[in-house]
């Protein structure tokens, strides 16, 4: 299907029969994919916000911890977007993957900035956060808000997002949300792989929590073994809230790994719109796995920084990861400067299209 194609039920004039058939095919493919594949016991496994596990019953551990994450997927029958679309099947996977990452950030915020959430508080935090991403125009990070704000960042309503415009859109929505009555972290998009230390420190000194969204290319054409090791190491960092990544034609939310197999939640499943407490649908999902070297090189990394101490730990862990590379994947600099790594960021990388718009 072409990039941003709004056929088969995503425009107002499409027939219910066509929409239903389209949904059925997507959901069949989703159900046929392997899920909850067995993991190796007594081998390190990592999940963001949880940490490392090494012992027996690793598969059961991963299954239980995966339920902590809020799962967002394609939805249909929501109030029409600006272009008349009432479903986001085929074009909304990047949006839904971004919602899953930012939901992690908000759960961490309401957990006092701590990565680990106690079992007895998990459901409470899920319920507190989940409606920020519901499929209604008033939701600050819902499909309507993201699609509308995305137009300002070069993405027509109903079209597929790339990592950079999605990151910029989420940052803008965060500013709007916090300027009204919202509570949450400040979301910053980091351009050119360079985190401006002064900007982050100023926010932390003002007692604000910071989410860093860093869209970038991990190599050119494919992920090399060297880059793969760095990406996996980043998923092990205390500050990591996951990665928006995936295959060339589909965005996924990456949230952990064992060996070179990355755990992910797959948004390519269409449910009825989440518009009320009675219509949440499925907000948990099965763990799936993909080899890190099979992922597309275009990704967006997410980090949660709650304090100056967190930022110092992030710098140390990032420096350790960068030490494996000739050029740093992500840098922390005192002031903004221009650096070229001779890598062109292709935000169309996840899209089925073969040329840029």
Annotated catalytic residues are 93, 266, 268
Q: Vertex 73, ends 67 and 79: CA angle to 5°?
A: 130
- Residue 5: partners with Cβ closer than 8 Å, 6 or more residues away: 90, 91
DSSP assignment letter at 87: B
Concatenated DSSP letters of 140-170: TTSHHHHHHHHGGGT--TTSPPPHHHHHHHH
- Cα 227 → chain centroid: 19
User: What secondary structure, in 3-state letters, does 18-43 show?
Assistant: HHHHHHHHHHHHHHHCCCCCCCCCCC
Cα dihedral sign, 312-315-321-326: negative
> What burial letters (b/e) apply to 174-199, b meaning 16+ CB within 10 Å?
beebbeeeeebbbbbbbbbbbbbeee
Termini Cα distance of the chain = 15
For residue 318, the 8-state DSSP code is: H
Cross-strand pairs, 298: 217
Q: Extract the tokens encoding 112.
A: 């006092």
Residue 146 vs residues 138, 175, 250, 340: alpha-carbon distances, Å: 11, 13, 18, 30
């Amino acid at each position: 299907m072409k990039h941003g194609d709004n056929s088969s039920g995503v425009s107002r004039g499409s027939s219910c029969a066509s929409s239903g058939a389209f949904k059925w095919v997507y959901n069949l493919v989703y159900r046929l994919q392997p899920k909850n594949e067995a993991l190796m016991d007594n081998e390190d496994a990592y999940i963001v916000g949880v940490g490392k596990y090494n012992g027996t019953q690793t598969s059961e551990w991963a299954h239980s911890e995966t339920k902590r994450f809020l799962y967002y997927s394609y939805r249909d029958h929501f109030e029409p977007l600006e272009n008349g679309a009432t479903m986001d099947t085929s074009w909304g996977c990047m949006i839904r993957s971004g919602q899953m990452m930012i939901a992690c950030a908000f759960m961490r915020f309401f957990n006092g900035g701590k990565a680990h959430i106690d079992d007895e508080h998990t459901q409470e935090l899920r319920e507190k956060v989940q409606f920020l991403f519901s499929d209604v125009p008033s939701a600050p990070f819902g499909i309507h808000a993201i699609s509308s704000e995305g137009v300002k960042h070069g993405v027509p309503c109903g079209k597929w997002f790339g990592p950079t415009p999605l990151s910029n859109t989420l940052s803008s929505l965060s500013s709007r949300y916090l300027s009204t009555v919202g509570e949450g972290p400040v979301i910053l998009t980091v351009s050119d792989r360079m985190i401006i230390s002064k900007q982050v420190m100023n926010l932390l000194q003002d007692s604000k929590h910071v989410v860093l969204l860093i869209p970038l290319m991990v190599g050119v054409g494919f992920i090399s073994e060297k880059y793969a090791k760095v990406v996996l190491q980043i998923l092990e960092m205390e500050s990591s809230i996951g990665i928006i990544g995936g295959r060339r034609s589909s965005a996924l939310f990456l949230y952990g790994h064992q060996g070179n197999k990355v755990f992910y939640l797959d948004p390519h499943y269409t449910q009825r719109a989440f518009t009320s407490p009675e219509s949440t649908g499925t907000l948990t999902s099965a763990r799936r796995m993909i080899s890190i070297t099979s992922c597309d090189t275009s990704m967006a990394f997410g980090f949660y920084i709650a304090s100056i101490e967190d930022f110092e730990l992030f710098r140390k862990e990032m420096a350790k990861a960068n030490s494996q590379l000739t050029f740093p994947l992500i840098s922390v600099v005192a002031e903004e400067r221009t650096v070229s790594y001779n890598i062109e960021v292709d935000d169309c990388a996840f899209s089925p299209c073969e040329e840029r718009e």
